[in-house]
Structure 1
Amino acid sequence: MGHKRMPREVRERHMLDAAVAAFARHGYQAASMDEIAEAAGVSKPLVYLYLKSKEELFMACVRREVGALVAAVRAGTRERGAPADQQLWNGLTAFFAHTAARPDGVTVLHRARTQGEPFAREVAAMRVEVATLVTSLLGQAARDAGCDSALAEREVSGLAHALVGAAESLAEWSNTQARTAPSSAPSARETAATLMNFCWSGLHNLLNGERWVPTSRVH
């Protein structure tokens, strides 16, 4: 009777919460639908009624985590009128706060990247969306610094994709630290500051015409 009174969206959320935890812990292949149903407090036939197969359940988990992550980053970069570096800082802080709060979601997205199609496609689309947002911020910084359009066209997109990849890697590292050495795990702001110091200082030099070039001793 309790299940009958529970709204469908609440029941689905419980199923997805249980599934994300199971997929993060065991991986796609080894995760058990029986375990997921038990953790969600429902029967296995009910899970199949809502989400027709294990593949659909995993895809629903991936899409939920993708949507939540993108929403967090976008919310963090909505400070109108703020300079590009402040918006990027806000976005990175929001990103790392979100990934710290949902470590199982980070693990599921990592597993989706390595699981193959169609799951990897969902994560790739997320990366493109976030990289496009970061490209816009870096492009604005280049324009604010008076750089010519050739620099923005040639460099900024690549820098944005590198930054997104670094953020993903740092999020996985930070969550590993939180599991294995909680007392020394960095906060979201500390992790965001690490990445800002890594990327923005170098970008600042680039915008001011200070470019690294290989010497004859560097191959």
Structure 2
Amino acid sequence: MGAVKTKRMPRAVREQQMLDAAVRTFGRRGYMAASMDEIAELAGVSKPLVYLYLNSKESLFTACIRREARALTEAVRTGVRPDLPADRQLWDGLQAFFAHTAEHPDGWSVLHLQARTHGDPFAAEVRAMREEIVAFVTELIVVAAREAHSDPDLPEREVAGLAEALVGAAESLAAWTNATPGATARQSASTLMNFAWAGLSNLMDGRPWSPPVDEVS
């Protein structure tokens, strides 16, 4: 009788398996400490096969960053329904962000900690993801602000800083949530929503905060 042939795993499936192992290793051990031997063993493949598919440790790390960045931005975008009021859109977007980072702590570690501290090529990948999220939040806020002020020409720069600050706060709070026992994604989304929306709602209503008139500029 002839030898029994084993079914070969499709390349795309095998590659995702390697990326899963790499994200877990990079996220928990850090880029410098992670080894290709460890990643290959966790993926259940040989080290030469990892190199064959993904060329080098640097290329593998870049692939991990890109995959995790796409997943996070997609989670935020699909979590928001554009037909809902502005506060509900922001709430849903925050919930989607915190839920994703909580469900994928290794991926968030790769994006928020590892990629930013190991050279510009890696950091540039994360900046591109961040810019996309900031642009999305800016659009969300500016549409609501234009409606509230009945001003379809209200420039994006009026709210761009708010979006930047909001995304930065979400990033810091997500890192805190993942590191704090008992903290939940919903609680963090609620904390940031309460922190941000009071000011945003006043801005929408044309009641922005202003510095004291006697303050020296």
- Fold in common (TM above 0.5): yes
Residue 80 of structure 1 deviates from its aligned partner by 3.9
Unaligned runs of 5+ in 2: none
Q: Which moved more, 1:135-144 or 1:49-58?
A: 135-144
Taking a change above 3 Å as real, the CA distance of residues 108 and 54 of structure 1, as seen in their structure-2 partners, is: same
One of 190, 199, 202 as aligned partner of 2:199? 202
Structure 1: how far apart are the matches of 2:207 and 2:8?
Answer: 65
Taking a change above 3 Å as real, the CA distance of residues 206 and 46 of structure 1, as seen in their structure-2 partners, is: same
Question: Computing the radius of gyration over CA atoms, which structure comes out larger, 1 or 2?
Answer: 2
Q: Percent identity?
A: 64
Please state whether the residue corresponding to 1:211 is helix, strand or coil: coil
CA contact under 8 A between 2:142 and 2:154: conserved in structure 1?
no
One of 54, 70, 74 as aligned partner of 1:71? 74
Structure 1: how far apart are the matches of 2:159 and 2:129?
Answer: 19
Corresponding residue for 2:23? 20
CA contact under 8 A between 1:142 and 1:152: conserved in structure 2?
no
Taking a change above 3 Å as real, the CA distance of residues 87 and 205 of structure 1, as seen in their structure-2 partners, is: same
* AA aligned opposite 1:189: R
Aligned residues: 212
Q: Describe how 1:24-39 pairs up with structure 2 within 5 A.
A: 24-39=27-42
Residue 86 of structure 1 deviates from its aligned partner by 1.2
Q: Which moved more, 1:206-215 or 1:33-42?
A: 206-215
CA contact under 8 A between 1:147 and 1:207: conserved in structure 2?
no
Structure 2: how far apart are the matches of 1:3 and 1:198?
Answer: 57
Residue 81 of structure 1 deviates from its aligned partner by 1.7
Residue 208 of structure 1 deviates from its aligned partner by 2.4
Unaligned runs of 5+ in 1: none
One of 46, 50, 75 as aligned partner of 2:49? 46
Deviations 1:174-208 (A, max 9, x none): 1111xxx2xx222x222111111111111111222
Deviations 1:13-42 (A, max 9, x none): 111111111111221111111100000001
Q: TM-score if structure 2 supplies the norm length?
A: 0.90
Structure 2: how far apart are the matches of 1:72 and 1:104?
Answer: 16
Q: TM-score if structure 1 supplies the norm length?
A: 0.89
Corresponding residue for 2:111? 109
Structure 2: how far apart are the matches of 1:127 and 1:3?
Answer: 43
Query: Whose helix proportion is higher, 1 or 2?
Result: 1
CA contact under 8 A between 1:72 and 1:95: conserved in structure 2?
yes
